[in-house]
Amino acid sequence: MSRQKLIMGNWKMNGDRTTLHALVQHIKGIKPVADSEIVVFPPFVYIEKVAYELRNSPISVGGQNLSQDENGAHTGEISAEMLVDVGCKYVLIGHSECRQRGETGETLQHKFIKAVLAGLKPVLCVGETQAQRLEHKTEQIVLAQLESVLNLPAVASFLPQMTVAYEPVWAIGTGLTATPQEAQKVHEMLRGAIREKDKTLAEKISILYGGSVKGNNAQHLFEMPDIDGALIGGASLNGEEFKTICHMIG
């Protein structure tokens, strides 16, 4: 069964109006290969500007996070509805950098539901630290993170909107990356857990790899049967390298 291929660029807290305008001009002409989609996640304050500049391109826009709460007295927070209002199609949930700041499984569940109900497509991020990896807890950790969503009531109705991104924390911004075989093993395990909930959807849900993905290693990762694309950090800020990776996914 064919699954959608996805290349996602998480710009994190980088750039300004000038540099991000230049980046958008460089990438907006990218033509996605068949059955693929390209998505970028700008800093919150630049989402509307980036979405406007990409309005006639095939590239979609997403939010890097969202609030678990509705609109109201939540200073500094961004609601799901606000993200939709400024042009977002996707939203990252459970990124390791948010988990490290105290995001819990329960918080993540609320965010996931808010995202889906608002019409956003949640990208659920899972991954283990270097210490957990060395203690051979990769399977235990990533499955627990995935199951915090899979165990939600009526989750079957939410699953078609979900993308999963395996981002080993030890490989984010370090220059280290899992070998294609190591990444494939975790992706296969994640798909197996989804299959226990819904066999058909398990073959449709895209599972991405993230963790120092670059032009010199992306091709080998994409050759693995359960790796359906990438969630890219630093390399997505380099227009030429991002373009190169996007063309490798076919």
Catalytic annotation on 187?
A: no
What's the burial of 232, exposed, middle or buried (CB within 10 Å: 0-12/13-18/19+)? buried
Catalytic annotation on 139?
A: no
Catalytic residue among 95, 97, 103, 128: 95
Q: How far apart are the first and last CA of the chain?
A: 15
Catalytic residue among 53, 97, 103, 167: 167
Neighbour tally for 13: CB within 10 Å: 8
Residues taking part in catalysis: 95, 167
